[in-house]
Amino acid sequence: MGILYFEVSSTYYLCMIFFSIALFQLFFYFMSGLTRTFKKHIVLYLVLLAFQHAISAYMTLLSSLAPSITIGQALAAPSVSFFLLFSGNIILVDLIPDYWIWMYWFSPISWALRSNISSEFSNDRFTGAESKAWLDNFSIKQDTGYFGFDIGVLVVYFFVFTIFNALALH
């Protein structure tokens, strides 16, 4: 009976994620004025999907490590704040102190942000010089062809956090 519940809840959860991200991404994509090509649309969808899974697995890991709900909620707020602060959006990577740079590379938000920005500026709409100038404005030094690597890192985060969660619950 337990396996049936797991399969039904997992199927429901996955369907809910796919459709909610598709709906959110559809509105966001066209309202924000991003490059309107099918490839860019799919890249944004995959980044959002991988990011949502990674951050969900991280929060599940935090909740399984916390001894109570109150402590779990208290751990979630600072970790999200640190992810946002050191994502390269609020504090550019060039301005992050050397002793905090590890947080930039650990933050799933920074991987999703870099992926979306590099995907957007790797388009014919921008010349090579314009793309480089925009990427320099965001302190992104990587080439525009690495957004697949960023999605891969988010997927690895999902699996690592899920494995640690299973170990914590065992």
Domain ranges of the chain: 35-169
Whether the pTM exceeds 0.85: the reply is no
Q: What is the pLDDT of residue 140?
A: 77
Contacts of residue 118, Cβ cutoff 8 Å, sequence gap at least 6: 135, 140, 142, 143, 144, 145, 146, 147, 150
pLDDT tens for the chain, residues 1 to 170: 555 554 555 567 777 788 888 888 888 878 887 778 888 888 888 999 999 989 988 998 998 899 988 898 899 999 999 999 998 888 888 889 999 999 999 999 999 988 888 888 777 777 777 777 877 777 777 666 667 888 999 999 999 998 998 888 87
Pick from 64, 63, 81: which is nearest to 72 by CA?
63
Q: Read off φ and ψ for residue 145, nearest 5 degrees.
A: -90, 5
Tokens of 143: 């080439």
> Which pLDDT score, from 0 to 100, does residue 107 have?
93
pLDDT at 78: 93
**Residue whose tokens read 């049936």:** 4
Give the pLDDT score at 1: 52
pLDDT at residue 145 in the model:
63
Q: What was the pLDDT predicted at 4?
A: 55
User: Per residue in 43-58, pLDDT tens?
Assistant: 888 999 999 989 988 9
